Amino acid sequence: MAVLSAINRYPVKSCRGHGVPRAGVEPWGLAGDRRWLVVDEDGVQVTAREYPRMLLITPRLRSDGGLELTSPDAPPLAVDVPGGGRILARVWKSELLATAATSAACSWFSTVIGEPVRLVYLDDPTRRRPNPAFARPTDNVSFADGYPLLLATTASLAALNDWIAGGPRADEGPLPMARFRPNVVVHGTRAWAEDGWRRIRIGDAAFRVVKGCGRCAMTMTDPETAARGKEPIATLARYRRWDGETWFGMNMIPDSSGVDIAVGDAVEVVESVPAPDGPPR
């Protein structure tokens, strides 16, 4: 039987996440997930793709939605949910209004990252939509890359690590699931079965599985040290490269909100197709 083996939340986009035993499902993702974003002076997202040491920043979400920030490069800082003016923020092709955090929070992130940046908060998650090619007009998404949640399976990670172990960069493996930053991790499936999933249920929550996840350079960064290598992209490119991208994990959109999911919940595949030989969706 497939079960939910881990739930991960990432309060600030591109910073370190943390596991939780239970999480609320909201229309735009897990409660508290990626509601905060770091932007440059032009309002454009700043991520660990360009600044790998962002992965060493640990944000802890407070019960009031604020943050407790720690980093090897700066003293701890508490950040309240801002109630001030809004600025225009850009995440990939999406432009939307977000609330600017205090100058102290912006200075803290600027010191850690080494560039002038600002911290912003998404006070209204209904301002942003996923790609309409894979979503409904009523769907929303937070500051996540493109979709409300990312799913991965332990079986697919094990298969990937087997490939790495038999390849020229075996010394870079095995890789932990943290490299892929999934919100939900499922145990008890066949490797790559998720490629063919279209609708699933986790506990009492229903989800559409809308698109495979093309992976980027962030997965090559060790989240514990911020050192960058070649894996997993080098191996995924040998086995799971289609349409110019490498694929691991599936993007999901909730069809249920106001319910919780918990580690240990049963995972039911409600609708599926045979796992494709090409890119998932």
Average pLDDT over residues 23-31: 98
Both tokens assigned to 224:
């514990």
User: Does residue 278 sit within a domain?
Assistant: no
Residue range(s) defining the domain that contains residue 84: 34-127
Domain boundary among 82, 99, 127: 127
Percent of the chain whose pLDDT exceeds 70: 98
Residues 87 and 158 placed together within one structural domain of the fold: no
Task: Decide if pLDDT at 267 tops 80.
Answer: yes
User: Does residue 281 sit within a domain?
Assistant: no
User: Does residue 229 sit within a domain?
Assistant: yes
Residues 141 and 263 placed together within one structural domain of the fold: yes
Residues 111 and 96 placed together within one structural domain of the fold: yes
Residues 59 and 138 placed together within one structural domain of the fold: no
Residues 45 and 82 placed together within one structural domain of the fold: yes
Residues 174 and 252 placed together within one structural domain of the fold: yes
User: Does residue 185 sit within a domain?
Assistant: yes
pTM of the complete model = 0.95
| Number of structural domains in the chain | 2
Residues 147 and 258 placed together within one structural domain of the fold: yes
Task: Decide if pLDDT at 235 tops 70.
Answer: yes
